Structure 1
Amino acid sequence: MKHHITVGVDGSPESRAAARWAAREAVLRQVSLRLVHAVDWPLDPVFPGLGRQDVDRWADHALTGTVRELHERHPHLEISTRCLTARPAAALAAEAADAGLLVLGSRGLGGLVGFLVGSVAMSTVVATDTPVVLVRVADDPEDAEDSDGPSAGSRAEVVVGVDIHEACDRVLAFAFEEAARRDRPLRAVHGWKMPAAYSYVPFFDPDDERDIARSVTRMVEDVLLPWRHKFPEVSVSHDVRMGSAGEHLVRASRGAGLLVVGRHVRRSPFGAHLGSAAHAVLHHAAAPVAVIAHG
């Protein structure tokens, strides 16, 4: 059992928002929080004249300032810190190995546009099998509760992308556990497309589309059924539509407290290691996004 949450901290508004989100999640889970700052030394030449003492002073300021802020909001939360000299993505992935969850900040593009996922965040997501949550500043409103009670985001529904063609037990387990922990409803979203052969049919029968839609909906219901039995306290709905799964998930993220998607674990060193739906969600979702490695 992994008993703590790790969050990357670098002093930026994005990382502070991630730290606040992670602290609220740690309170919900009743676990400790670990703040990690990593710096790649020597620094890039674009920082001329910046010495190691300056870097250490900045790291200490980022960590102690964040700890102070979080303790003001959650005085009973156990918080530890680590400052590492290493490439940030590699350091964060290594720190995530013994954590139950890794939380990272990501630049928001405002409104309903979503994320600007930096290279560190993207590299970290694909380098660890630990669940990773990306948080924007927009996901941490200034009027969020400062007490140990649940935040506004924790009171909104949880949305999960369901794949009927692949085993996604880890994805569904995470989503159901989060919905149960927050006492919030869960909405399962699946996007489907007509078989490629239909593009060659000169006269398309609308009844075929309805039949396929009913069949896909039954398959989604079958995937969800054992999880409904395991989590009877969670109110579950499903949204099955023809079209891009990524687009449907992005749309469903508006107003959601958390969006959960899966990504395939690929051992090849090449490629982004993300499916099209996860890629779309990471760049355009309007809610915190949890990426769960599976397969």
Structure 2
Amino acid sequence: MTNPVLVGIDGSAESLSAADWAGEEAARRNLPIRLLNVWANPVSNVQFSPNPEGMRFWAEGQVREAGRRMTERHPHMAVEAQQIYGVPGQVLLHAADASELTVLGHHGRGAVADSVLGGTALHVLARSGRPVVLVRADQPADETGKVVVLGLDLGRPCESLLTFAFEQAADRGAVVHAVHVWNEHEVHLAAPTPGAGLAAQVLAEQERGLAQALAPWRQKFPSVEVRHSVLQGPVAQRLAEAGKDADLLVIGRRRLHAPSVVHIGPVARAVLHHAARPVAVVSHE
């Protein structure tokens, strides 16, 4: 059985944008799609709250409407739209691990984004072994520059991250733009006798290392055009800037094996905070 593309639907504009993006992804890869709303009874003062059952019916209507729209746009696609009762993070995580890809809405920037990312989305991002894509409501669902930007840490080469980025580019007919970011100030602080040419020397070494890391993937995907850049400055900010016009920004997340830890790392969190385009987070060892 082919694993579907999973979308979390909560009726927000962000989740509907996620559904639009996921529909194009599933159609491009000839995959089924699963639209899922997870319902949990609200914990609040009933005296001042709407009827919980009415809220549940509204949420169920939202996921069914999303399914209807998906079928209209992609009539040949297998579409499943359902509501499941349970704890949203746990239910979505279980569904994500049985899916090819999970797509979630990203609720903007600032304190609200941190709050939302600290809940359901963070739980799925931090625990799922499958790629997770976050999509904003304020960005178009269609492609822009036919570029997949890949953030690489040369100290942690990652096969699953590279595979995902190159497969995405091949499916889209897009360019892979691999980006490695380093901090010039850290190099000077670490050097026992920093000199004027140290930064240029390190930059040249980083560029050679990035080219070497990409060489096997150029051979595996000969039809994919590859560009690479070594940038200086704050990692998350530079990655977000590099991906501002991309179809997709792909970053990695180290897989943690402590079951009680919900953590995606400061760079991944900051990239999600700053990035304007869809961001794919791929777990790796």
- Verify same fold: TM over 0.5: yes
* Residue from 214, 217, 227 that aligns with 1:224: 214
Any conservation in 1 of the 2:187–2:199 contact (CA below 8 Å)?
Answer: no
How far, CA to CA, are the matches of 1:51 and 1:195 in structure 2?
A: 57
Any conservation in 2 of the 1:90–1:127 contact (CA below 8 Å)?
Answer: no
Any conservation in 2 of the 1:163–1:190 contact (CA below 8 Å)?
Answer: yes
1:144 is aligned to: none
Which range is displaced more, 98-107 or 69-78? 69-78
- 1:177-202 Cα shifts (integer Å, max 9, x gaps): 00010001110111113485732769
Secondary structure of the corresponding residue to residue 291 of structure 1? strand
How far, CA to CA, are the matches of 2:108 and 2:140 in structure 1?
A: 11
Any conservation in 1 of the 2:17–2:135 contact (CA below 8 Å)?
Answer: yes
Any conservation in 2 of the 1:38–1:88 contact (CA below 8 Å)?
Answer: yes
Which range is displaced more, 247-256 or 56-65? 56-65
Taking a change above 3 Å as real, the CA distance of residues 196 and 140 of structure 1, as seen in their structure-2 partners, is closer
How far, CA to CA, are the matches of 1:136 and 1:198 in structure 2?
A: 38
1:76 is aligned to: 76
- Give yes or no for the alignment of 1:176 onto 2:166: yes
Taking a change above 3 Å as real, the CA distance of residues 252 and 194 of structure 1, as seen in their structure-2 partners, is closer
- Give yes or no for the alignment of 1:254 onto 2:244: yes
Gaps of 5+ in 2: none
- Give yes or no for the alignment of 1:152 onto 2:151: no
How far, CA to CA, are the matches of 2:211 and 2:6 in structure 1?
A: 34
Gaps of 5+ in 1: 142-150
Any conservation in 1 of the 2:102–2:131 contact (CA below 8 Å)?
Answer: yes
2:223 is aligned to: 233
1:292 is aligned to: 282
TM-score normalized by structure 2?
0.90
Taking a change above 3 Å as real, the CA distance of residues 164 and 47 of structure 1, as seen in their structure-2 partners, is farther
How far, CA to CA, are the matches of 1:197 and 1:99 in structure 2?
A: 41
How far, CA to CA, are the matches of 2:97 and 2:151 in structure 1?
A: 24
Report the residue type matching 1:212 in the other structure: V
Count, aligned residues: 280
How far, CA to CA, are the matches of 1:59 and 1:160 in structure 2?
A: 36
Any conservation in 2 of the 1:265–1:294 contact (CA below 8 Å)?
Answer: yes
1:274 is aligned to: 264
Report the residue type matching 2:75 in the other structure: P
Where do residues 89-108 of structure 1 align in structure 2 (5 Å cutoff)? 89-108=89-108
Q: Per-residue deviation at 1:89? A: 1.1
Taking a change above 3 Å as real, the CA distance of residues 39 and 233 of structure 1, as seen in their structure-2 partners, is same
Taking a change above 3 Å as real, the CA distance of residues 208 and 116 of structure 1, as seen in their structure-2 partners, is same
